Structure 1
Amino acid sequence: MNTLDQKINEHFPGLVVRKDLVKTVKGNAIVPSYVLEYLLGQYCATSDEATIQTGIETVKEILAKHYVHRNEAGLVRSNIKEKGRYKVIDKISVALNEKTDAYEAQFSNLGIKKVLVDSGTVKAHPKLLVSGVWCISDIEYEFTEDKNASPWILTTLKPIQLSHFDYDAYVEARQKFSTDEWIDLLIQSIGFNPEMFGKRSKLLQLLRLIPFCERNYNLIELGPKGTGKSHVYSEFSPHGILVSGGEVSVPKLFVNNSSGKIGLVGYWDCVAFDEFAGKKKRVDKALVDIMKNYMANKSFSRGVETLGAEASMVFVGNTRHTVPYMLKHSDLFDELPDKFYDSAFLDRLHFYIPGWEVDIIRGEMFSDGYGFVVDYLAEVLRSMRNYDYSDQYREHFSLSSDISTRDRDGINKTFSGLMKILFPQGGASKGDIEKLLRFAIEGRKRVKDQLMRIDTTYGEVRFAYLDTDGNESLVTTLEEEEYPGCYYKTVADADIENGRAESHSVEEPLDSTVNVPEPEKQGLQEKHLTFQENQKGVSFDTLFGPYLKDTKRITVTDPYIRLFYQIRNLMEFFETIVKNKAQEDEVVVHLVTARDEFKGELQDESFEKIQVSARLVGIDFTWEFDETGTIHARHIVTDNGWKILLDRGLDIFQHYEMNDAFSFTNRLQQFRSSKAFEVTFIKQA
Structure 2
Amino acid sequence: MNSSETVAYRNELVREVFGSLSIDKSRLPSSGLTGTGVPSFVGEWLLDKIVPGTGSLTSEELEKVNSFVQKAFPRKDDKEEIIFYLTQDAFYKLIALMQVRVKVEQKTGEIPEPLARIPVLNLEECSISPDLVQKNLMLLRQGLWGKISLTMRPDGQIEVVGFEPFQCSAIDLKAYAECRAQFSTDEWRDLMFCSMGFNPQHPSYSREAKTWVLARLLPLVEPNYHIMELAPKGTGKSFVFENISNKVKLISGGKITPARLLIDGRTKEIGLIGRHDVVVLDEVQSLTFDNPEEVIGPLKTYMASGRYNRSGFADISSDCSLVMLANIELDEQQRPKNEDNLIANLPKFFNETAFLDRFAGIIPGWQIPKFQRDMTAYQTGLKMDFFGEALLALRQDSRFIQYAQQNTHFDSHVTVRDQNAILKSAAGFLKILYPHLKLTVMDYQRDCLEPAMQLRQAIRNVLYHLDDEFRQTEREIYAEIAF
1:18-417 residue pairs with structure 2 within 5 A? 18-27=24-33, 28-43=35-50, 59-81=65-87, 84-98=90-104, 101-129=112-140, 132-142=143-153, 144=154, 146=155, 149-150=156-157, 152-196=158-202, 197-278=205-286, 284-302=292-310, 303=312, 305-322=314-331, 323-327=335-339, 331-388=341-398, 389-393=400-404, 397-417=408-428
Partner amino acid, structure 2, of 1:193: N
Q: Work out which of the residue numbers 10, 15, 20 in structure 2 matches 1:14.
A: 20
Q: Paired residue for 2:5?
A: none
**The residue matched to 2:116 in structure 1 has which SS?**
strand
User: What is the CA distance between 1:97 and its match in structure 2?
Assistant: 4.0
Cα distance in structure 2, aligned partners of 1:451 and 1:50: 49
**The residue matched to 2:403 in structure 1 has which SS?**
coil
In structure 2, relative to structure 1, the CA distance for the partners of 1:107 and 1:258 (3 Å cut) is closer
Cα distance in structure 2, aligned partners of 1:231 and 1:63: 22
Cα distance in structure 2, aligned partners of 1:26 and 1:252: 32
Cα distance in structure 1, aligned partners of 2:301 and 2:270: 16
**The residue matched to 2:36 in structure 1 has which SS?**
coil
Cα distance in structure 1, aligned partners of 2:451 and 2:57: 42
User: What is the CA distance between 1:413 and its match in structure 2?
Assistant: 0.5
User: What is the CA distance between 1:40 and its match in structure 2?
Assistant: 2.6
1:515-594 residue pairs with structure 2 within 5 A? none
Partner amino acid, structure 2, of 1:318: N
User: What is the CA distance between 1:356 and its match in structure 2?
Assistant: 1.3
Cα distance in structure 1, aligned partners of 2:405 and 2:97: 46
Cα distance in structure 2, aligned partners of 1:386 and 1:234: 23
Cα distance in structure 1, aligned partners of 2:336 and 2:403: 36
Are 2:42 and 2:166, in contact at CA under 8 Å, matched by a contact in 1? yes
Q: Work out which of the residue numbers 446, 449, 466 in structure 2 matches 1:437.
A: 449
Partner amino acid, structure 2, of 1:398: H
In structure 2, relative to structure 1, the CA distance for the partners of 1:461 and 1:300 (3 Å cut) is same
In structure 2, relative to structure 1, the CA distance for the partners of 1:195 and 1:134 (3 Å cut) is same
In structure 2, relative to structure 1, the CA distance for the partners of 1:18 and 1:390 (3 Å cut) is same
Are 1:397 and 1:468, in contact at CA under 8 Å, matched by a contact in 2? yes
Higher RCO (CA < 8 A, seq sep 6+): 2
Moved more, 354-363 or 51-60: 51-60
User: What is the CA distance between 1:167 and its match in structure 2?
Assistant: 2.3
Q: Paired residue for 1:504?
A: none
**The residue matched to 1:181 in structure 2 has which SS?**
helix
Partner amino acid, structure 2, of 1:187: F
Cα distance in structure 1, aligned partners of 2:255 and 2:166: 26
**The residue matched to 1:425 in structure 2 has which SS?**
coil
Cα distance in structure 2, aligned partners of 1:138 and 1:367: 35
**The residue matched to 1:453 in structure 2 has which SS?**
helix
Higher percent of residues as helix: 2
Cα distance in structure 1, aligned partners of 2:142 and 2:237: 21
Q: Paired residue for 1:671?
A: none
User: What is the CA distance between 1:203 and its match in structure 2?
Assistant: 1.0
**The residue matched to 1:137 in structure 2 has which SS?**
strand
Partner amino acid, structure 2, of 1:372: L
Q: Paired residue for 2:479?
A: 465
Post-superposition CA distance 1:138-190 (Å, at most 9, x none): 11235x4x4xx41x221112333112333222111111100011011111111
Cα distance in structure 1, aligned partners of 2:258 and 2:239: 25
**The residue matched to 2:120 in structure 1 has which SS?**
coil
In structure 2, relative to structure 1, the CA distance for the partners of 1:12 and 1:51 (3 Å cut) is farther
Cα distance in structure 1, aligned partners of 2:228 and 2:72: 38
Post-superposition CA distance 1:120-152 (Å, at most 9, x none): 44455455455654332111235x4x4xx41x2
Gaps in structure 1 of 5+ consecutive residues: 470-685
Cα distance in structure 1, aligned partners of 2:383 and 2:393: 16
User: What is the CA distance between 1:265 and its match in structure 2?
Assistant: 1.8
Cα distance in structure 1, aligned partners of 2:74 and 2:329: 38
Identity, % of aligned positions: 27
What CA RMSD, in Å, does the superposition of the two structures yield over aligned residues? 2.7
In structure 2, relative to structure 1, the CA distance for the partners of 1:163 and 1:55 (3 Å cut) is farther
Partner amino acid, structure 1, of 2:320: A
Could you state the TM-score of these two structures normalised by the residue count of structure 1? 0.63
Are 2:262 and 2:271, in contact at CA under 8 Å, matched by a contact in 1? yes
Cα distance in structure 1, aligned partners of 2:98 and 2:58: 30
Moved more, 374-383 or 282-291: 282-291
Moved more, 337-346 or 121-130: 121-130
Cα distance in structure 2, aligned partners of 1:347 and 1:335: 18
Cα distance in structure 2, aligned partners of 1:186 and 1:405: 31
Could you state the TM-score of these two structures normalised by the residue count of structure 2? 0.87
In structure 2, relative to structure 1, the CA distance for the partners of 1:299 and 1:3 (3 Å cut) is closer
User: What is the CA distance between 1:334 and its match in structure 2?
Assistant: 1.1
Partner amino acid, structure 2, of 1:92: M
Gaps in structure 2 of 5+ consecutive residues: 1-7
Are 1:276 and 1:336, in contact at CA under 8 Å, matched by a contact in 2? yes
Partner amino acid, structure 1, of 2:177: V
User: What is the CA distance between 1:267 and its match in structure 2?
Assistant: 1.7
Are 1:254 and 1:266, in contact at CA under 8 Å, matched by a contact in 2? yes
Are 1:390 and 1:412, in contact at CA under 8 Å, matched by a contact in 2? yes
Are 2:142 and 2:247, in contact at CA under 8 Å, matched by a contact in 1? no
Post-superposition CA distance 1:481-510 (Å, at most 9, x none): xxxxxxxxxxxxxxxxxxxxxxxxxxxxxx
In structure 2, relative to structure 1, the CA distance for the partners of 1:428 and 1:130 (3 Å cut) is same
User: What is the CA distance between 1:387 and its match in structure 2?
Assistant: 1.0
Partner amino acid, structure 2, of 1:38: W
Name the larger-Rg structure.
1
